[in-house]
Structure 1
Amino acid sequence: MLKGRANDMHLSDTLRSFAVCFILAWLLPFAACGQRLFAKRIFRTAADSVQYESIRQQILDNLKADIKSDNNALHVKGEKLLVKIIPSYQFGVYSFYDDLMRTDRPDTITHLGLYLLEGSEIPAKVASCVNLKELDISGCHIQKLPVWLGKLAHLEVLTISRSELKRFKLRYVNKSSLKTLNLAYNDLRRIPKGLAEYDSLEEMNLSGNRLKTLSRALSRPRSLAYVNLGYNRVRHNRMKTNDNVKSINLSHNGLKNMPFSLGGFNKLITLNLSYNSIATIEREIGGRQLLVVNLYNNRLKKIPGSILSLPGMVNLDLSHNEITAVPPSIQKMKALNVLSLWDNEVSQLPDELSRLPNLSTLYLQDNQLSYLGDSLSRLPLVKLDVGYNRLTTIPAWVFQSAGIQELYVNNNDITRIGEEILAMPNLRILYIFGNPIGDEQELQRWVKLLRQRNVDVKQ
């Protein structure tokens, strides 16, 4: 719920629809806006398809009613119904079971999707697909891989998702070719055995399982760079340092704090801890190369010191928390380019924030700001969002900014915006709706002039 602003929302139907579609496309891949975005959805049964569409519509209705409604449980339920989404841009790339059975040239098949197979074994004809690069056997009941699978020397991607796997041993797959392993949305409680032997493995998706521990096996693959452990219940880290891992996703793990350190991941660049219940972070979350941290939708009341001590950080998302203040020590984050504090309890900003020489994008919507200090004029801002606050005026330094291209001051208490806004030479987007602006005639005059300059004005 928008804190303290629910009765002040004046989103137009068009803007609300856009916002809902944006969130759906970003947060809910199974519920994207518009059938055209996904060319093919595969379900186990027709009943699952109907239920999926019902869930999708329910989420859409919830978001229209409250843009910040919590639809996580519905999202998980819908994901479990869906076996596979094949984007339209990949149409013509994939071959399917019928294609495999019909062809007399299996050597021409490079991407093969065998969904919802009734048997417990991979069809033997797959062994003749000697140039196969991707094999997807999602939604099946195949528990073991055949020995001949190791002869597919070009196999780079193996997907066995939504197949109710409880245990899985990775073997009989070419150890020098496999780059991506996707075992998402199964019932795994342990990291697959045999993983340590795959030095070619670069990306692993184990989201949507029942994992509780980061296994030592994850320390071994020398090329492993991307690890997705979202939608699990990870509480322990038994991994030794892995200097190759660049991205870890621990979102939706029900974490209340960081029960383990990630300090041994010296090359970690991106860390996703969103959608947990983290209130404090006392342990290290990465080394000096950490550039992007996502703590969206947690329960932080202040910005953790372990975050502020990372001078190389480029993108920091602290949206949807309970943060009340930005500490002066924020000035240590000299490389910071994007800072998101959307939906917190911040009432004022320290002058030290202006000492960030690279901060070009600042999201401050839905806080309790009534004033933007002149010191902020020193920031190289390109995008400034202060919608849903308590501003009564737009400070002069904003109008004098030559760099700002996107300005969002909607849903505040601003009574006047005059022709001084015409002095912003690079302005491209301006949101001013939801303000009690008095002189409607003057407003329409300069809005017309802005639109003649191709500025997108929402009033």
Structure 2
Amino acid sequence: MGNNLSQYARDRIYLCKSAGGTDLNLSSCNIKRIPKRILRFKKTLKKLNVGKNLIVEFYSQIEKFQLLETLIAESNELKDTCTQLSKLEHLTVLDVSNNMLTVIPNNLKSLITLNISYNSIQSFGNVTISLPALQELFYSFNKVSIFPTEILEIQTLKKLDISGNHLNYLPDEISNLAPCLEHLNIADNRFTSFPPPISSLGNLRTLNIANNNLGTSLSNQFTTLSKLEILDFSGCSLSSFDFDLSQLQNLTELYLARNSIPYLSPTTSISIGELTQTLRILDLSSGAFTILPKQIGWCTNLRRLNISQNQLPKVPGELHLLNPSIDIIIQPNPLEYPFCEWIKEGIPTFLKNLKPYMRAYGPNCTISDLEPTLKAMAPNQYTINSFDYSNNARVSGGDEFKVQMLLDGSNTGGASGSGEQPSSPDESNGGFPLGRANSMFFRSIECIVKDNKATKPGSYTVYFNSPQTGSYTISITSDNLPIKGSPFTVELV
């Protein structure tokens, strides 16, 4: 370009000189080639940015910048990278994305980060020799339909972005990358089911599979990736989400936006409630949600919640537990009164007003009036007292409790006072004592739970009547969580 440099480019070069000649930014300067005058920085320059220009070829004397560590040449018109780049012994970052390259740059012995996205690269060659130190490879939007197996030889690879291509499978050999690979982005491809080989990547911290048509083919294989911190299933045509996330104890960000999920299953809801210390971002926007799990409110470290553009008439009262400074996006939604009025007053006020709408939290609920010994062949009752997540007594009804009352089969033979001694183990009965094996049909007693919201809101009376004497175990749960002290034991005589 020589003396035809724009004043804008001249000013950038002057600023670089004033700052010691280590960082030169010539991006968006409308230049067609790297100017020769930057040779004055050949002994000092560490970072050169010539992105967003009209450059068609590299400056042939680029090899003279022996201290250069970062070279950015994205969004130009490069068809090839010059061989002189291989002489830059300190070059660790190279960005040549959005050009017209067809072959991967090679013989870069110190390169750690390579961005070749938005090109037409199909040829890799022997990357273990040409890129022996590579840790981050951005290879998105290159119209790749067959996974390049050469990548599987890069044993140092920590981050792989191969999004925006035409892939519909991953080879089993991707397990070769398991020791190092921590970030995998396969979004915007053509996967129609969750790729099973991903489950072998036990060190993954980030998994982005957004904008693939997974539909109902999403398997639970991702739930074994215990080191996951970020999980993105946005835009995957999901109509349900029924997975136990309890193994993902490091999960900080979960994205389920742009799907058709009407609600999260009880299993998923409960497991989200186990991520109270880690989950910081939850995105359920642009979906079909008609109800939200109350367990979201238990995640008190949540910093961003996006539930906009759904079909929510109300939100759970447990959102009251969230930090008032949280970035929460609710509208648009068809909120009913009074939620639609509260939201107009701002998020802190909205959350504060939700407190009376909190529901029962099983581990805080108690029972009363349950005697250890009751009469058989007679009506019996006791009371469940409900408390919310903050251990405040519930002030209204509407909570659900599951009560299961089982006759202890191991005591059935002795309930009539026969004093029969347990038999010795019988291998033909799977190792159980013969007397116990014959009585494994635990008898279930029907229990009726009455909501006392008209007389004593927040309490529930349980009625039962057993025709048989014996020891009974009573299990009481709310949202699959046992109440305080459950299971209980009573003797009917």
Superposition TM-score, scaled by structure 2 size: 0.56
* Offset, 1:165: 3.1
* Preserved contact between residue 103 and residue 123 of structure 2 (Cα < 8 Å): no
Quick one: distance in 1 between partners of 2:290 and 2:69? Answer: 55
* Offset, 1:238: 6.5
* Preserved contact between residue 331 and residue 353 of structure 1 (Cα < 8 Å): yes
Query: Alignment partner of 2:40: what SS?
Result: coil
Q: Are 2:17 and 1:132 equivalent residues in the alignment?
A: yes
Q: Are 2:342 and 1:457 equivalent residues in the alignment?
A: no
* Preserved contact between residue 257 and residue 286 of structure 2 (Cα < 8 Å): yes
* Offset, 1:305: 5.6
Q: Are 2:370 and 1:370 equivalent residues in the alignment?
A: no
For the aligned residue pairs, the C-alpha RMSD in angstroms reads 3.4
The residue type equivalent to 2:310 in the other structure is N
> Cα–Cα, structure 1 residues 176 and 454, in superposed 2: closer, same or farther, change >3 Å?
closer
The residue type equivalent to 1:228 in the other structure is D
Which residue number corresponds to residue 140 of structure 1? none
In structure 2, stretches of 5+ residues that fail to align are 331-493
Which residue number corresponds to residue 345 of structure 1? 213
Quick one: distance in 2 between partners of 1:366 and 1:320? Answer: 9
Quick one: distance in 2 between partners of 1:226 and 1:364? Answer: 30
Which residue number corresponds to residue 332 of structure 1? 200
> Cα–Cα, structure 1 residues 374 and 444, in superposed 2: closer, same or farther, change >3 Å?
closer
The residue type equivalent to 1:280 in the other structure is I
Quick one: distance in 2 between partners of 1:160 and 1:414? Answer: 48
The Cα offsets for residues 194-216 of structure 1, whole Å up to 9 and x where unpaired, read as 23343212122223333223333
The residue type equivalent to 1:374 in the other structure is F
* Preserved contact between residue 60 and residue 82 of structure 2 (Cα < 8 Å): no
* Preserved contact between residue 377 and residue 401 of structure 1 (Cα < 8 Å): yes
The structure 2 residue matched to 1:310, chosen from 157, 173, 177, is 177
* Preserved contact between residue 169 and residue 193 of structure 1 (Cα < 8 Å): no
Quick one: distance in 2 between partners of 1:397 and 1:276? Answer: 38
Quick one: distance in 1 between partners of 2:75 and 2:293? Answer: 52
Alignment of 1:416-427 (within 5 A): 416-427=291-302
The structure 1 residue matched to 2:305, chosen from 430, 434, 444, is 430
Alignment of 1:22-421 (within 5 A): 96=11, 112-113=14-15, 132=17, 154-160=20-26, 162-166=29-33, 172-173=39-40, 175-237=42-104, 239-240=106-107, 242-255=108-121, 257-258=122-123, 260=125, 262-263=127-128, 264-285=130-151, 287-303=154-170, 309-311=176-178, 312-347=180-215, 348-380=217-249, 381-394=251-264, 395=268, 396-402=270-276, 403-421=278-296
Q: Which has the higher helix share?
A: 1
Bigger CA drift: 186-195 or 244-253? Answer: 186-195
* Preserved contact between residue 409 and residue 432 of structure 1 (Cα < 8 Å): yes
Query: Alignment partner of 2:84: what SS?
Result: helix
The residue type equivalent to 2:158 in the other structure is L
* Preserved contact between residue 261 and residue 283 of structure 1 (Cα < 8 Å): no
* Offset, 1:330: 1.0
* Offset, 1:364: 0.8
Quick one: distance in 2 between partners of 1:401 and 1:339? Answer: 18
Superposition TM-score, scaled by structure 1 size: 0.59
Which residue number corresponds to residue 11 of structure 1? none
Larger radius of gyration: 2
Quick one: distance in 1 between partners of 2:36 and 2:6? Answer: 25
> Cα–Cα, structure 1 residues 228 and 425, in superposed 2: closer, same or farther, change >3 Å?
closer
* Offset, 1:340: 1.2
* Offset, 1:307: 5.2
* Preserved contact between residue 170 and residue 192 of structure 1 (Cα < 8 Å): no
* Offset, 1:259: 5.4
% same residue = 21
> Cα–Cα, structure 1 residues 401 and 175, in superposed 2: closer, same or farther, change >3 Å?
closer
Alignment of 1:7-26 (within 5 A): none
